[in-house]
Amino acid sequence: MVKFLRYLQYEVFLLPILIIYTLFTIVPLIRSFELSLTDFNGYSTDYHFVGLKNYIKLFSDDAIVSGILFTLTFALCSTALITVMAIPLAILLDQNFFTKHIHRALFFFPSIPSGLLLAFIWGFILSPVASGVFNTILREVFGLGAQPWLSDPLLAKLSTIIVAVWAQTGWHAVLYLAFLQSIPKDYFEAAAIDGASRLQQIRYITLPLLAPAMTVSVMLLLTGGLKVFEIPFALTKGGPGFETHTITQVIVLRGISETQFGLASAMSVVFFLIVLVIACFQVTMMQKREERIQ
Amino acid sequence: MRKTGFLLLILIVAVSLALSACGNASDGGKQSGAGDQASGESGKQEKVKLSILAWNNETEMKPVMDGFMKKYPNISFDFQFAPPVKDYIAKLQTMLLSDSAPDIFIIAAENRNEVIDSGHALDLTDYPFMDVMLDSNKPMLSKNGRTYAFTNNGWVGGWFYNKDLFAKAGITKLPTTWDEFVEVCLKLKEAGITPLYDNMQDLTQIHSSLYGNMTLSKDPNFDEKIFSGEKTFADGWLEVFKLWKKDMIDKKIITPDMIGLTGDQIESEFTLGNVAMFFGGPWSIAKLSATPNLNFSMIPVPGPVPGETYYVGAPGVGFAVNSKTKHKEEALKFIEYLSTQEGLELFYQGTGSIMTAKGFEAKVHPSMQQAYEEGLMKGKIYLPMVSWPRHQEALRNQFVIVTQDMAVGKITPEEAVAAIDKKLKEMENK
C-alpha cells in the first residue's frame, strides 16, 4: 500500500502536464478525426456524417499533391543542409578563441525572433523590384539585373529553403556544441599521441560520438520541416501558383478560407499519420545507427 | 498518514489549478455581472460593456465610440481588432463557434453567407435606422430580402498615377480607351519608368475592371447566371484573360516578378516614385497626401467597350448584432448611432471612409472625385467577392493561383477559366 502510494505520488506530479497535453493535443486530434468524417463548414454546428468522402476527395486535390511535394522537398533539403552546416559550425565554435562567446551568440540569434518576423524582413531583402536590398547589391556590386527571388517557381523554392537554413543552423549548432562538450578530451589526446590528424579525429571520434545529437536534431528538423508554415507563407504566400504551398497552408486554405472543415480535418489526420511514420522510421533508423557505432 | 495527507494536498492543488484555468472565462463573466448589478442598484441605469470586433483599428473607431459614450454614459466598450481580411474572418469564426463572439461584429463580403446562414446575426431589416442605408448597399448584406448588417459607407478604387512621371514620359492625354491605356504603359516603359504594379497576391484589379467593361456592361446579371449554371466562368472571363495576357503579360507591362510584391511594398514603391501607377482607394490617401512632392491623381482602367468604364468598389463592411448577445438593446443603440448625422460625421472623421448614407454629404479627396461621381454613385463598380453569391474565398484563391500561373506562363487563359469552373463545381458539390 505504501509502495503504491509512493508510486502515485510521482504520478500526481505528472497530472498537470497530462491535463494540458490532453486538452490541447489529444482532444483536438480526436475532434479532428471526428470532423473529418463530416461536412462541417466551420460556422454551423448542424453538420452531417459523410463517411470517408473527404478522404477520397483529398487525393484528387491538386493543391494537396503540390503541397506534399514542396513540403517534402523543403523538409529534406533544409534538414540535410542544416545538418551539414551545423556540425562543422559546432566544431568551430567549440575551439578556444577570443570571441567565441560573441560568435556563439551571433549564430544563435536568428532562432530567437519568430519565423514570421524573420520571413517578413527577408521579404524586403529578397523583394523582386529593383529597389529590393538583394537586387540592389547585385546591381551595384556585380552589375547584374534584378532577379525574381520570390516569383520564379524554382527561385521561390530555393529562397524559402535558404531562409529556413539561415534561421535554424545556429540553434542546431548549439545543440551539437552541447554534445561536443560532453566528449572527454582524453580521446582526442590519445588519438593525437597515436598520430591521428585533426581530420581523422573528427572522422573517427567526433562524428560517431555525435550520433545521439544527430538523432535528436534530425528528428526535430524533419518534423519541424514537415509542419512548416510561417516562413513560406510570409515570404511567398505559397506562390507562384501552388509552387510553394506547404501542407499546413493547404489545410488552412481549405478549412478556414474555403469553409471545408471536414476536408481540412481529413488532410490533418492524413498529415499526422505521414509525420508519425516518417518520424518513427527516422528515429528507429538513427538509433540503430547509434548502436552500431557504439 | 502524513504521506497520504501530503498526497491529498497536492491533488487538491493540482485539481483546483486545472479547474481555475478552465473556469476563468465564466468567473470573469460572473464577476462583471455582479458589478453591473451593484452599480445598477446604486446608479439610475445599468452599466453595460459592449464588446465589438472590427477590422477598423481602435484609432479609427475611437471618435465614434467616444461620441456614443458621451451620449450614453452608462455604456462602455470592449474593443477588439483583427486586420482584414483573413485574420478577421478566422478570428470571428473561432469566436462564433466557441460562443464567445462579441455583441457587435462586422460582416464582410467574404464571410456574409456563412455568418448569415448560420443565424449568428440579428435581422435588422425592420429597424427605422435602416432607412438611412443606401438601397444599393443592401444586397451585399442581405439574404432573401432580409438585411443583417448596417453600413454607412462604400468604397471605390482606381489607379493612382504619378503626374510628374507621366509628364516625364511625355504623356499629355490621359487614356480613355484600353488601347490608349496600353499605349501609355508602353510609353512609360520606353522612358525607363515601371508603368504599374498590380498586386498579384490578390484578385488583380485590372481583371475586375475589364470584366465589368467587357461582360457586365452587356449583361449585368452575368455572375448570377454563372452560379445558376446557365453560364460558366469560361463564358464571361476567357476574353478578359486573353486580352490581359496579350496586352499586359506578352508586352511585359506586368511581369512575373510582381507576384512577389505585397500591397504595402507596392504602395511604398509608388510613394518613392519608382512606379507610375498602382491600384488604391480611400485607404491610400492619408499616406499619399503625407508624402512630400508627390503629385498624384486617379484614373480608371478603361476597357475595350467604349463608354463603359468600371471602377473597382463595393459597399463598406456592415456592423451586425450577435443574435446571442445579452445586450441587444444597447448594441442596437450603437448601430442606430452610426446612422445619425453625428455618428456619420464621427465615423468619417475616424476612418476617412467614403460615406454613402442617405442625407449625408460625403467628402472625398479631390483625386477621387471622378471615381466617386462616375463610379460609386452611378453604380459602375464591380468587386467579384460582392457579386458572387457563394464560395467567394475559394474562388478568390483560385483566381489568384491561375493569375500567377498565367503570369509565369505555366497555363493558358483557356486552362485558367477551366480551373475556375472546376473549382466552382467542386465547391457546389462539396
**Could you report the per-residue pLDDT of B100-121, keeping only the tens digit for each?**
999 999 998 888 888 998 899 9
Query: Which domains occur in chain A, in start order?
Result: 63-293 (1.10.3720.10)
Give bridge partners of residue B107 from the DSSP assignment: B318
As a whole number, the mean pLDDT across chain B is: 86
Q: Quick one: which of B116, B124, B126, B119 has its CA closest to B150?
A: B124
User: How high is the pLDDT of residue B346?
Assistant: 93
Yes or no: domain B156-314+378-428 corresponds to CATH 3.40.50.2300:
no
DSSP state at residue B317? P
User: How many Å apart are CA B20 and CA A241, to the nearest integer?
Assistant: 47
User: How high is the pLDDT of residue B6?
Assistant: 53
User: How high is the pLDDT of residue B186?
Assistant: 95
Under 8 Å CB-to-CB from B256, ≥6 apart: which residues? A148, A151, A152, A240, B407, B408, B409
Cβ contact, residue pair B274, A130, below 8 Å: yes
Cβ contact, residue pair A258, B269, below 8 Å: no
User: How high is the pLDDT of residue B10?
Assistant: 52
ipTM exceeds 0.85: no
Cβ contact, residue pair A152, B430, below 8 Å: no
DSSP A182-227: TS-HHHHHHHHHTT--HHHHIIIIIHHHTHHHHHHHHHHHHHHHHT
Question: If you search the block for the grid coordinates 478552465, which residue do you land on?
Answer: B22
Q: Out of B120, B257, B397, whose CB is closest to A128?
A: B257
The whole-model pTM stands at 0.76
Phi/psi region, residue B108 (left: phi>0; alpha: psi -120 to 50; beta: rest), is beta
Q: Is the dihedral of CA B387, B392, B395, B397 positive or negative?
A: positive
User: How high is the pLDDT of residue B22?
Assistant: 45
Cβ contact, residue pair A260, B430, below 8 Å: yes
Q: Out of A2, A131, A148, whose CB is closest to B260?
A: A148
Cβ contact, residue pair B258, A128, below 8 Å: yes
Find the radius of gyration of the CA atoms of chain B: 25
DSSP state at residue B430? -
User: How many Å apart are CA B11 and CA A10, to the nearest integer?
Assistant: 11
User: How high is the pLDDT of residue A258?
Assistant: 81
Cβ contact, residue pair B265, A129, below 8 Å: yes
Q: Are A50 and A38 in contact (CB under 8 A)?
A: yes
Q: Show me where the domains of chain B are located.
A: 46-151+316-358, 156-314+378-428
pLDDT-derived band of residue A159, with 50, 70 and 90 as boundaries?
very high
Under 8 Å CB-to-CB from A44, ≥6 apart: which residues? B114, B117, B118
pLDDT-derived band of residue A90, with 50, 70 and 90 as boundaries?
very high
- Where is pLDDT greater, at A260 or B197? B197
Residue B107 Cα, gap to closest chain A Cα (Å): 14
User: How many Å apart are CA B260 and CA A156, to the nearest integer?
Assistant: 9
pLDDT tens-digit series, residues B116-144:
988 999 999 999 999 999 887 888 899 88
Q: Out of A44, A239, A257, whose CB is closest to B404?
A: A239
Q: Which residue in chain A has the smallest CA separation from B196?
A: A129
Q: Out of A5, A44, A240, whose CB is closest to B405?
A: A240
What residues of B are in contact with residue A43 (Cβ under 8 Å)? 93, 96-97, 114-115, 117-118, 120
* Residue ranges in chain B modelled with pLDDT below 50: 1, 8-9, 13-43
What residues of A are in contact with residue B115 (Cβ under 8 Å)? 43
Instruction: Give, in order, the Cα–Cα distances in Å from A6 to each of A2, A12, A82.
Output: 6, 10, 45
Q: Quick one: which of B382, B25, B58 has its CA closest to B203?
A: B382
pLDDT tens-digit series, residues A167-196:
999 999 999 999 998 888 888 899 999 988
Q: Are A130 and A136 in contact (CB under 8 A)?
A: yes
What residues of B are in contact with residue A241 (Cβ under 8 Å)? 401-402, 404-405, 408, 410
User: How high is the pLDDT of residue B40?
Assistant: 41
Cβ contact, residue pair B265, A13, below 8 Å: no
Cβ contact, residue pair B265, A240, below 8 Å: no
Q: Are B318 and B133 in contact (CB under 8 A)?
A: no
Residue B258 Cα, gap to closest chain A Cα (Å): 7
A to B CB pairs, distance under 8 Å: 127
Instruction: Give, in order, the Cα–Cα distances in Å from B138 to each of B143, B148, B285, B372, B379.
Output: 10, 9, 26, 18, 13
What residues of B are in contact with residue A236 (Cβ under 8 Å)? 260
Q: Are B334 and B50 in contact (CB under 8 A)?
A: yes
C-alpha cell, A136: 540592389
What residues of B are in contact with residue A157 (Cβ under 8 Å)? none
Cβ contact, residue pair B90, A156, below 8 Å: no
The CB-side HSE value for A189 (13 A sphere, CA atoms) comes to 4
B48-54 sheet: strands from edge to edge = B75-81, B48-54, B104-107, B318-321
Give bridge partners of residue B105 from the DSSP assignment: B53, B320
| Backbone angles phi and psi of A143, in degrees to 5 | 65, 25
Q: Are B134 and B154 in contact (CB under 8 A)?
A: yes
Q: Out of B89, B118, B259, whose CB is closest to A240?
A: B259
For an interface test with B, which of A138, A139, A237 has the most B Cβ atoms less than 10 Å from its Cβ? A237
For an interface test with A, which of B252, B402, B408, B415 has the most A Cβ atoms less than 10 Å from its Cβ? B408
pLDDT tens-digit series, residues A35-80:
999 988 877 778 889 888 889 888 877 788 888 899 999 999 999 9
What is the arithmetic mean of pLDDT over A148-161?
89
DSSP B106-123: EE-TTTHHHHHHTT-B--
Cβ contact, residue pair B430, A39, below 8 Å: yes
Beta pairing, strands B153-162 & B275-280? antiparallel
Under 8 Å CB-to-CB from B6, ≥6 apart: which residues? A9
C-alpha cell, B284: 491610400
Specify the fold of B46-151+316-358: D-Maltodextrin-Binding Protein; domain 2 (3.40.190)
Q: Out of B6, B10, B405, whose CB is closest to A241?
A: B405
| Backbone angles phi and psi of B147, in degrees to 5 | -105, 135
Q: Quick one: which of B327, B263, B270 has its CA closest to B294?
A: B270
Q: Are B93 and B40 in contact (CB under 8 A)?
A: no
Please tell me the total number of residues recorded for chain A in this structure: 294
Q: Out of A2, A5, A146, whose CB is closest to B257?
A: A146
Q: Are B370 and B354 in contact (CB under 8 A)?
A: no
Enumerate chain A positions whose Cβ falls within 8 A of a Cβ in B.
2, 5-6, 8-9, 12-13, 15-16, 19, 39, 41-45, 123-124, 126-131, 146, 148-153, 156, 236-237, 239-242, 253, 256-260, 263
Cβ contact, residue pair B393, A258, below 8 Å: yes
Cβ contact, residue pair A6, B256, below 8 Å: no
| Backbone angles phi and psi of B143, in degrees to 5 | -145, 130
Q: Quick one: which of B137, B161, B162 has its CA closest to B357?
A: B137
Cβ contact, residue pair A129, B274, below 8 Å: yes
Cβ contact, residue pair B11, A242, below 8 Å: no
What residues of A are in contact with residue B257 (Cβ under 8 Å)? 128-129, 146, 148, 151-152
Residue B427 Cα, gap to closest chain A Cα (Å): 8
DSSP state at residue A61? -
Please tell me the total number of residues recorded for chain B in this structure: 430
pLDDT tens-digit series, residues B166-202:
999 999 999 999 999 999 999 999 999 999 999 888 8
User: How high is the pLDDT of residue B378?
Assistant: 79
Q: Out of B4, B117, B391, whose CB is closest to A44?
A: B117
What residues of A are in contact with residue B86 (Cβ under 8 Å)? 256-257
Q: Quick one: which of A244, A77, A86 has its CA closest to A178?
A: A86
Give bridge partners of residue B354 from the DSSP assignment: B154
Burial of B199 from C-beta contacts in 10 A (0-12 / 13-18 / 19+): buried
What residues of B are in contact with residue A6 (Cβ under 8 Å)? 3
Q: How many CB atoms lie within 10 A of CB A103?
A: 16
Cβ contact, residue pair B97, A45, below 8 Å: yes
Cβ contact, residue pair A16, B394, below 8 Å: no
